[in-house]
Structure 1
């Protein structure tokens, strides 16, 4: 039974990786027309282009598990803004206003920010390296 204790941690990592990948693809398709071709937007165009740049950049960081909590909060806020500024005007419920993806992404990234990156993350590797250096008697600032 002791081996099953790590399953939720790895599940959190896999969830973070998949959701980070999905939002990065969403931003990339708006910015570059890849992986889905269509209308592209400049990263300086407000609000769509800026949102796409944030989705792509922070999505990649969440995918890698680098600065995970901060990046996840940024994407969560971006998606909450999208829901309330674009979708909420059309109707009250997400089923009516087409805002289901924005609402789901917002809550998913908030959950990632709360739970953390899990063991399969650059943040976790950096923390392990910091602990090894500290355990070896060297100052932690040397990392």
Structure 2
């Protein structure tokens, strides 16, 4: 049906991985550095430094395509935990409890974890050489 997009499958996936990684990185820098948005008011220490640090590191690695599978898998777990700790207590459905971004990140990261870095990644030459992406596995 949508065969016209088949030639663009790799670049489209790479753009998604890069943009999602950069957006996740921005969430981390907002928590840790207060840029580009201020840190959340009265957020607990672990949210600022642990979650923010993981968002910076994970988002950066995903964006550049280095150790992508591991970074995405850990980031998916972080977003699952964030959903249940911050949003799940306010009701089950993400649209009602404000957790739709955490759920979206979680499942996009699971997809990236299953697919690997793809093209335009620092580990892409290793993938073309027959090795799996995501560093040592």
Give the TM-score of the pair, scaled to structure 2.
0.82
- Choose 1 or 2 for highest CA Rg: 1
- For the pair 1:23 / 2:17, whether they are aligned, the reply is no
In structure 1, distance between residues paired with 2:39 and 2:102: 19
- State the Cα distance separating 1:46 from its structure 2 match: 1.8
Distance 1:95 1:45, change over 3 A: same
Q: What is the match of residue 102 of structure 2?
A: 102
Q: Spell out the pairing of 1:70-81 with structure 2 (5 A cutoff).
A: 70-81=70-81
1:31 and 1:41 in contact (8 A); partners too = no
Contact 1:31 1:40 in 2 (8 A): no
CA displacement at 1:99 relative to structure 2: 0.5
Q: Deviations over 1:73-114 (max 9, x none)?
A: 010100000001221111110011110111111011111111
Q: What do the CA deviations read for 1:58-82 (whole angstroms, capped 9, x no partner)?
A: 1000000000010000101000000
| Unmatched tracts of structure 2, length 5 or more | 131-137
Whether the 8 Å CA contact 1:76–1:109 is kept in 2: the answer is: yes
- Cα distance change, pair 116–41 in 1 and its aligned pair in 2 (3 A): farther
| Aligned counterpart, 1:119 | 119
1:65 corresponds in structure 2 to 65
CA contact (8 A) 2:32 2:48 kept: no
Which residue of the partner structure matches residue 36 of structure 1? 37
CA contact (8 A) 1:32 1:40 kept: no
Is contact 2:32-2:39 (8 Å) kept? no
Structure 1: which 5+ residue stretches go unaligned? 132-143
Instruction: Give, in angstroms, the shift of residue 38 of structure 1.
Output: 4.1
Number of residue equivalences: 127
Runs of 4+ in 1 over 2 A off after TM superposition: 3-6, 37-42, 125-128
